Amino acid sequence: MSAVVRPGQLDGSTRLYGIVGDPISAVRSPEVFNAMFAQRGVNAVLVPLHVGEEDIAPAWAGLAKLRNLSGLVVTMPHKGRVFAMLDEVGPAAKLVGAVNAARREPDGRWTGDMFDGAGFVEGLRDQGHDPRGWRVCLFGVGGAGAAIALALAQAGVAALSLRDPDTARRDALHRQLQHAFPQTRFTTDTVAGEAFDAVVNATPLGMKPGDPLPFDPAELPTTTLVVDIVTKPEITPLLQRAIDTGHRVHSGKHMHLGQARLVARFFGHEL
């Protein structure tokens, strides 16, 4: 019989989880996962790990050797780099070339997968938004954005417009998605007068004070849902601008909670 674990208990048997990113101050995973561990009596803790983009390779080499490290949540800007360091990756990760979670297997190998997209769609549906048949404009097609584009296509959107200053990355994703989902209309160019059911910010803009808006909601019909995947603050400058211009908004909190449930299951826990 295992001992009863007291909330907040840390000892030599505690399993470690972490979230790696840069910046790290805006992440919500520690509060969500640690509340779950305490509620369910799991002797584990998830801590924030601030790793700069140029330091991820040596940091990963050390972290992967920690035998009581059971898993990592991976956030910007490391999703693509960690993907290349894993022993095995799941189907969503293979399609977008990035991961947002990795776990240690019993034999010591590391497996990763990407849950940003599935968590995003789950968060929409939790709030009563079914994207099937929608016309969506997506700003940002990095690791999270590419995963969201894939999940929206899988959810049956009618049209998806991809916007990113890295045109090579944008065009590569466009070709990949158009081949995999021929029934969906994918575009990369602005179409004058085009109306969208939702416009999504999947860029890092909004994480730092003084960031410019990725787009101006005032230029959109008030029927358009304005979505931001940034989690802190929950009401980002983009969402506040959208509220001020009379739009409905959907915050990054919903995507985070959706993907947290999926990542917890990937780690062997139920959230």
Q: Choose, from 79, 94, 232, 253, the residue flagged as catalytic.
A: 79
Helices (H), ranges, the chain: 29-40, 56-63, 79-83, 91-96, 116-126, 143-154, 167-180, 237-244, 252-266
Return the minimum-mean-pLDDT range out of 3-12, 80-89, 110-119, 235-244.
3-12
pLDDT of 268 higher than 80: yes
Assigned CATH class of 117-255:
alpha beta
What is the structure's pLDDT at 206? 85
What is the structure's pLDDT at 193? 55
Q: In which region does residue 268 sit, left (phi positive, over 0), alpha (psi from -120 to 50) or beta (all else)? A: left
> Which architecture, in CATH terms, is 15-114?
3-Layer(aba) Sandwich (3.40)
Is 79 known to be catalytic?
yes
What is the structure's pLDDT at 189? 78
CA pair distance 68, 71, nearest whole angstrom: 9
Residues of the chain with CATH 3.40.50.720: 117-255
pLDDT of 264 higher than 60: yes
Residues of the chain with CATH 3.40.50.10860: 15-114
Cβ neighbors of 80 (< 8 A, separation 6 or more) are 97, 98, 142, 143
- Dihedral (CA of 92, 57, 20, 143) sign: negative
pLDDT of 1 higher than 50: no
pLDDT tens, residue by residue, 26-63: 888 999 999 999 999 999 999 999 999 999 999 999 99
Helix (H, G, I), strand (E, B) or coil at 254: helix
Dihedral through CA 99, CA 103, CA 106, CA 110, nearest 10?
Answer: 40
Q: Any idea how long the chain is?
A: 271
Helix (H, G, I), strand (E, B) or coil at 66: coil
What is the model's pTM? 0.84
Cβ neighbors of 27 (< 8 A, separation 6 or more) are 19, 21, 48, 73, 75, 231, 232
What is the structure's pLDDT at 144? 87
What is the structure's pLDDT at 25? 87
Q: Which two tokens stand for residue 66?
A: 């920690």
pLDDT of 202 higher than 70: yes
Average pLDDT of the segment spanning 55-82:
95
Mean predicted lDDT score pLDDT of the chain? 92
